[in-house]
């Protein structure tokens, strides 16, 4: 574990914090896009350690959280189809739809199975040739290549009962939507490390070029985050705006060509519904017509109408950085991890979950 502990070194952390405090004079509001960064910031108490002039805001970077209610309802409707096995990552089970959840559907008799990878889902399809096996493709650029690879393998091995409900999303259009809306003034962005390992840091060039906002790609250990904030402070104080990498052990400027090629082979950009945002053009990944035999939307007649989020739930506003969970009257009362009202309380990377677990009341 030495490699991990090196990125949790207390002396180095103190040195970085001292440098941040010495250099930071201007008021600055930084948003971390990724839910993994949100959890790291809360877990290691980074908000409390920063100078008062630096404000941290959590963004929409939890793929479970930004999945719209109508898309959850689609998955639940599929689960209730005769002869269908739904396969999904664990975080999706408890996310409430408009009337139910996959967990409740399973309790009522639906065949819903948690898997750890798309290959697990494909194996279930091979073992159950008389059933239709649907994988819920929910995630950002980090998981989209693995879903694409499963479709290609299904084609190559002749598996005809494997389908994907493609709800994967692209991160840059969401950041662009936040910046274009003007709802939240930002002075810097902590860009997602794992997404950037696929897309490359160059995916964020538009932030610095078009909006003149500093951005730094960060890893997920405390020293990664502190180094990122230190680099953002340097740019803010020097009135600069460029893309930098504070996670070079995982991210290159050009990204992962193999993964990008997989995505471009199987998917094409399409409009997608985001919780709290509405439809964002070019932010979804639609399965290309060459692979439509694996598209659950093509195979099944899925009936689900758009619905409003639960009354009083501020998940959408939290995802856009407009509000914090503490602004929500449901937080910690009606809405808690055991009985979540919105997905931000369900996901392990959800902002509401992080506030609840790590004591948001002591922070804001």
- Residue 327: count other Cβ atoms within 10 Å of its Cβ: 12
What pLDDT, on a 0 to 100 scale, did the predictor assign at position 236? 98
Cα 68–Cα 96–Cα 136 angle in degrees, nearest 5: 60
Determine phi and psi for 148, rounding to 5 degrees. -60, -40
Residues 6 or more apart whose CB falls under 8 angstroms from that of 344 comprise: 62, 65, 315, 318, 319, 325, 350, 351, 352, 353
Q: Domains, the chain, ranges and CATH?
A: 1-31+52-311 (3.40.50.11740)
State the DSSP string of 304-359: ----PPPTT--HHHHHTTSS-GGG-TTBTTTBBTTB-SSGGGTSTT-HHHHHHHHT
Q: Reply yes or no on whether the pLDDT at 308 is more than 90.
A: no
Q: Which of 14-18, 107-111, 264-268, 309-313 has the lowest mean pLDDT?
A: 309-313
pLDDT in tens, 65-93: 999 999 999 999 999 999 999 999 988 99
Helix (H, G, I), strand (E, B) or coil at 93: coil
Helix (H, G, I), strand (E, B) or coil at 297: helix
- Contact (CB, 8 A) for 193 and 36: yes
pLDDT in tens, 176-219: 999 999 999 999 999 999 999 999 999 999 999 999 999 999 99
- Contact (CB, 8 A) for 5 and 161: no
Q: How many residues does the chain have?
A: 364
Q: How far apart are CA 28 and CA 189, in angstroms?
A: 11
What pLDDT, on a 0 to 100 scale, did the predictor assign at position 69? 93
Question: Model-level pTM?
Answer: 0.92
What pLDDT, on a 0 to 100 scale, did the predictor assign at position 2? 63
- Residue 189: count other Cβ atoms within 10 Å of its Cβ: 28
């Amino acid at each position: 574990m030495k490699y991990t502990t090196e990125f949790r070194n207390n002396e180095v952390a103190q040195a970085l914090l001292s440098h941040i405090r010495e250099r930071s004079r201007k008021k600055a509001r930084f948003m971390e896009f990724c839910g993994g960064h949100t959890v790291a910031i809360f877990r290691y108490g980074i908000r409390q350690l920063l100078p008062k002039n630096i404000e941290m805001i959590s963004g929409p970077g939890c793929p479970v959280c930004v999945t719209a209610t109508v898309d959850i309802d689609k998955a639940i409707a599929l689960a209730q189809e005769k002869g269908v096995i739904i396969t999904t990552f664990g975080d999706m089970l408890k996310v409430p739809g408009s009337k139910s959840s996959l967990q409740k559907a399973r309790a009522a008799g639906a065949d819903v199975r948690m898997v750890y990878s798309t290959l697990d889902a494909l194996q279930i399809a091979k073992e159950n040739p008389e059933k239709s096996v649907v994988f819920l493709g929910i995630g950002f650029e980090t998981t989209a290549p693995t879903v694409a690879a499963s479709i290609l393998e299904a084609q190559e091995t002749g598996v005809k009962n494997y389908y994907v409900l493609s709800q994967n999303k692209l991160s840059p259009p969401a950041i662009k939507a936040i910046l274009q809306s003007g709802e939240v003034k930002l002075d810097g962005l902590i860009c997602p490390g794992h997404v950037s390992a696929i897309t490359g840091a160059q995916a964020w060039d538009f932030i610095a070029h078009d909006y003149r906002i500093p951005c730094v790609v960060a890893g997920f250990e405390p020293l990664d985050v502190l180094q990122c904030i230190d680099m953002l402070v340097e740019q803010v104080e020097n009135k600069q705006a460029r893309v930098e990498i504070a996670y070079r052990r995982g991210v290159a400027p050009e990204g992962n060509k193999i993964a990008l090629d997989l995505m471009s082979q199987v998917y094409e950009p399409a409009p997608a519904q985001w919780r709290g945002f509405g439809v964002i053009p070019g932010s979804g990944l639609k399965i290309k017509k060459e692979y439509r035999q694996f598209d659950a939307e093509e195979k099944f007649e899925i009936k689900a109408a758009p619905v409003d989020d639960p009354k009083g739930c501020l998940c959408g506003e939290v995802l856009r950085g407009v509000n914090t969970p503490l602004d929500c009257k449901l937080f910690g009362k009606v809405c808690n991890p055991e009985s979540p009202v919105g997905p931000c309380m369900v996901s392990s990377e959800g902002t509401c979950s992080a506030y609840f677990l790590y004591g948001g009341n002591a922070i804001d």
